[in-house]
Amino acid sequence: MIQGAGSNVGKSLVVAGLCRAALRRGLSVAPFKPQNMSNNAAVTMDGGEIGRAQALQALACGLAPSVHMNPVLLKPESDQGSQVIVQGKRLATVRARDYAALKPQLMTSVLDSFQRLAAQHDIIVVEGAGSPAEVNLRAGDIANMGFARAADVPVVLVGDIDRGGVIAQMIGTQAVLHPDDATMIKGYLINKFRGDATLFAEGDRLIAARTGWPGFGVLPYFPEAHRLPAEDALDIPARQGTGAFRIAVPVLSRIANFDDLDPLAQEPGVSLTMVRGGEPLPDCDLVILPGSKSTRGDLAYLRAQGWDIDLKAHHRRGGRILGICGGYQMLGRSISDPDGIEGPPGETAGLGYLDIATVMTGDKRLTRVTARHVASGQTIEGYEIHIGRSAGADCDRPFALLHDQPEGACSPDARVQGTYLHGMFAADAFRTAFLRAHGAAPSALAYGAGVETSLDLLADHLETHLDVAGLLALAR
């Protein structure tokens, strides 16, 4: 089990790299994360949802994603409440203070999923969540030491030297842990080093001497990390690419499934700007309104930033707009939530660029799909993950056809388009056709092949700088 001395220390990439390294050794390997908190979800073949990081790790293992790889997924809907997904399906929406009461029930599901995977594979590489040093959350823990002890899984602690204070991260973690938890840690590694690693040799010796843990290596910063899907929107650089075709994406407060943007960011003819709160939408060719876990709440957030005014100016200048999922719903005339599924019951006026109205309903659509893009005729491979149904006159001009049924909507002049389809830009032929139709220069980017190459490079990186054989040998 890979645990972190803090959040965002690189656990997900280390696990992905170890998974690919184990696969290349001829082992049957699977990833596992007991509990994840993310609005960047992936849809499994059986219609469940898991964290996007576990879907990437499954790819590193040569496997299709399974709900058992991430049995508990928390999807924040507000600052104080999250939707709880258990083995792929929604269980409830709970406030943070009430979540602890669910944990005994959730541990049963976590151990069930872990045992199912363990029965099928030679080795499971487990990822913790946050840090075991958050001892105020230790009671009933299912994400870190609570799981490690329940499943008797040895732990390796990862520290992030890039943010500074890594010696204190490691020694301090041991100091605050209960002794029984601390005995589960069988070693450590240092991640995100930049520069001459020999300069850290004395620090490495100090950590080993003070903790009694063996070190498994110092891992330099992995330069290809940006080519792999990020789990946190804050990990996405503000600007990517220097191409002539300019795309702007407002970063909503509950932005979801933002890995939709990854293939676009890697297009050589594109420059993509992630616009943070308080910043204006820049001059651009295309604005993409992304998915959201709380559509009405994020529409209010969008207006609070003044982005609705910027969007009106962009549209008046002849700019194009694409809404995906929640962003699609925002582009309509109204969003109604009569039963309070995403928040307080009520109705919110939309931005009014599409003649559609959306009603939130209790049934959640979770499915992988193959569709045909109407304008180009290209095939789209993607997935749907949303609540709400949208209907209106502009649906007569669909974005795509799904089993010969219309999907999405377009304005009469086609400058505003909306769709519920996630993951569509990973399809090279569709992405090329879409960009060409919007005036961007085409390229030969093979996105999926690039992700596979990056995973191999990540495994090479770990093999070069870490004792990978020693890490895998820890497995019980």
- 379-427 tens-digit pLDDT: 999 999 988 999 999 999 999 999 889 999 999 999 999 999 999 999 9
Please tell me if the domain spanning 2-226 has the same topology as the one spanning 238-439: yes
**Which class in CATH covers the domain with range 238-439?**
alpha beta
45 pLDDT above the threshold of 90: no
78 pLDDT above the threshold of 80: no
CA distance 90 to 223: 36
Q: Do residues 177 and 137 make contact, with C-beta atoms less than 8 angstroms apart?
A: no
With the C-alpha atoms ordered 196, 202, 206, 208, is the resulting torsion angle positive or negative?
positive
Ramachandran angles phi, psi of 43, nearest 5° = -100, 130
Give the domain ranges of the chain.
2-226, 238-439
Buried b (16+ CB within 10 A) or exposed e, 393-423: ebbebbbbbbeeeebbbbbeeebbbbbbbbb
pLDDT for res 91: 87
Active site residue 325: yes
Exactly one of 68, 121, 422, 461 is catalytic; which is it?
Answer: 422
Q: What angle do CA 39, 40, 45 make, to 5 degrees?
A: 115
CA distance 416 to 287: 10
Nearest residue to 188 (alpha-carbon basis) of 178, 196, 199, 200: 200
Query: Under 8 Å CB-to-CB from 209, ≥6 apart: which residues?
Result: none
Beta 416-419 vs 320-324: how paired, if at all? parallel
CATH T-level fold of 2-226: Rossmann fold (3.40.50)
Active site residue 284: no
Enumerate the β-bridge partners of residue 274.
249
235 pLDDT above the threshold of 90: no
Enumerate the β-bridge partners of residue 367.
384
What is the value of pTM for the model shown? 0.91
Q: Using alpha carbons, list the distances in angstroms from residue 197 to 115, 212, 241, 400.
A: 39, 21, 30, 52
CA Rg value for the chain: 23
As a whole number, mean pLDDT of residues 435-442 equals 90
pLDDT for res 80: 65
Token look-up 């940006």 returns 226
Exactly one of 19, 61, 325, 410 is catalytic; which is it?
Answer: 325
As a whole number, mean pLDDT of residues 76-88 equals 83
pLDDT for res 233: 62
